[in-house]
Amino acid sequence: MLKESPIESSAQESLNPFAIAQAQLDEAAEILQLEPEMHVFLRQPMREFHFTIPVRMDSGRTRVFQGFRVQYNDARGPAKGGIRFHPDETIDTVRALAAWMTWKTAVVDIPLGGGKGGVICDPRLLSQTELERLSRGFMRAIARFVGITKDVPAPDVYTNPQIMAWMMDEYRVLVGHHEPGVITGKPLELGGAAGRGDATARGGIFTVREAAKMMNLDLVGATAAIQGYGNAGQFAHKLASELLGQKIIAVSDSRGGILNENGLDFDDLVAFKLKNGTVVGYPESENISNEDLLELDVAVLYPSALENVITSKNAADIKAKIVAELANGPTTPAADDVLYENGVYVIPDFLCNAGGVTVSYFEMVQNSYQFYWDEALTHERLDSKMTNAFYTVHKMAQAKNVNNRVAAYLVAVDRVAQAARLRGWI
């Protein structure tokens, strides 16, 4: 069996996100006894694009940005995945995220593949007009390779519905007709889906609810900590309080974290962050580091920021009963082993945060037949998809006596491999 990138020991832990994604696949491939050709096929993207985007800045000079789009696998349907604007973007990060999107769409059983895109830039340093030129330039670079039957981008880190609107409009200019389904995460006025804004967090909350049932854990009044207070983290705060009755005692962003054992009020905290740009300094709280937040003794920990925050160095100190991964790739393979041995119930990223792509799929469906659902129907159908996916993974973990991430891989990889076989590719 091919083992080019085994899961590392804690002494030799790789933090390269694509190496981690491949290592996770390798473990699933061995358990599934995938044929070697299929294993090789699933370890690499089917295609990827590198391009340069010249942008005329407000000063009159031109800056050239580097962009990527990876279409990892489309055996089950068109590629699907977000576009990130981030100063530390790398092709390996995009590859890993495209791979995880492939497994994510498969694990929730929607007829899509996996893709991801990115631009190396800091959008916080760009004016609105510069950001619009960059967004339209990105679409010009990839327009030939995307579309509702090929690849459907969406927002991700530092991108938003306005950026999606610019991209959708640029696509219309290029192809000469309106095709709203080419982009998801759009504003409601341009064919966006009701319920998309909080879908990532809401889907994760549904899986936490079911995990607590399996563990006989009462979440009403139970504590939670949220690492990362962007879109997913803020909605996790709101929904964990409203739907589960949890008490959020700690949150953090890129500048640091805050702790209040009596709980943090959602509305007040969001208003404070909007005014100050950070949660640090919030009244009636003490400052803590992002690292300390991860190790708090809480019922549920929501990693909601970037990759590789739980590693072999701190996994043994994680005290949460449930780790609900709203971020992509927050836990390394070596850390997974430690958490499993310590009895921490991990809801893996590509299950936990699949609510976003699920509602994006709902948006594509609605765009196709030009009939739109209300928010209540979106929530109902999202709940059904996430709950079914949760129990499929949970049952696989019990049957194979493996951790939840491996179980999620077994479910997803088997579905993608079967689609490739049925197509006659392998």
Which band of pLDDT confidence, cut at 50, 70 and 90, is reported for residue 13?
Answer: low
Flag whether pLDDT at 4 surpasses 80: no
pLDDT of amino acid 148: 94
**Residue 236 pLDDT greater than 80, yes or no:** yes
pLDDT, position 20? 87
**Distance of alpha carbon 386 from alpha carbon 287, whole angstroms:** 35
- Given this model, what pLDDT does residue 1 score? 37
In CATH, what class is 199-352?
alpha beta
**With contact defined as beta carbons under 8 Å apart, do 235 and 196 qualify?**
no
* pLDDT attached to residue 160: 93
Active-site annotation holder among 80, 116, 247, 321: 116
pLDDT digits (tens, 9 = 90+) for 161-203: 999 999 999 999 999 999 999 999 999 999 999 999 999 999 9
Residues facing 79 on adjacent strands? 151
pLDDT tens digits, one per residue of 392-406: 999 999 999 999 999
Q: Is 272 a residue whose pLDDT tops 50? A: yes
What is the rounded average pLDDT of the residues 272-292? 94
Choices 1.10.10.1100, 3.40.50.10470, 3.40.50.920, 3.40.50.10860: CATH for 45-177: 3.40.50.10860
Q: How far apart are the first and last CA of the chain?
A: 16
Helix, strand, coil content of the chain in percent (nearest 5): 50, 15, 35
Please give the pLDDT value at position 329. 86
Residue 116 among the catalytic residues: yes
Cα–Cα distances in angstroms (integers) from residue 213 to residues 179, 219, 346, 390, in the given order:
42, 9, 14, 12
Q: Per-domain residue ranges for the chain?
A: 45-177, 199-352
Residue 297: both structure tokens together: 């003794």
Percentage of the chain beyond pLDDT 90 is 92
Q: What is the pTM of this model?
A: 0.92
What's the confidence (pLDDT) of residue 14?
65
Q: Are 321 and 378 in contact (CB under 8 A)?
A: no
pLDDT reported for residue 311? 93
| CA distance linking residue 15 with residue 247, whole number of Å | 32
pLDDT of residue 235: 97
d(CA 14, CA 368): 42
Sheet holding 79-86, edge to edge: 47-56, 62-73, 114-120, 79-86, 151-155
Q: What is the mean pLDDT of the chain?
A: 94
Let me know how long the chain is: 426
pLDDT above 70: percentage of residues in the chain? 97
Same CATH topology for 45-177 and 199-352: the answer is yes
Instruction: Give me the pLDDT at residue 2, please.
Output: 38
Lowest mean pLDDT among 99-108, 120-129, 251-260, 326-335: 326-335
Sequence-separated contacts (24+) of 9-14 with Cβ below 8 Å: 9/334, 10/312, 10/334, 10/338, 13/311, 13/312, 13/332, 13/334, 14/332
8 Å CB contact between 320 and 298: yes
In which residue are the tokens 């990532």 written?
200
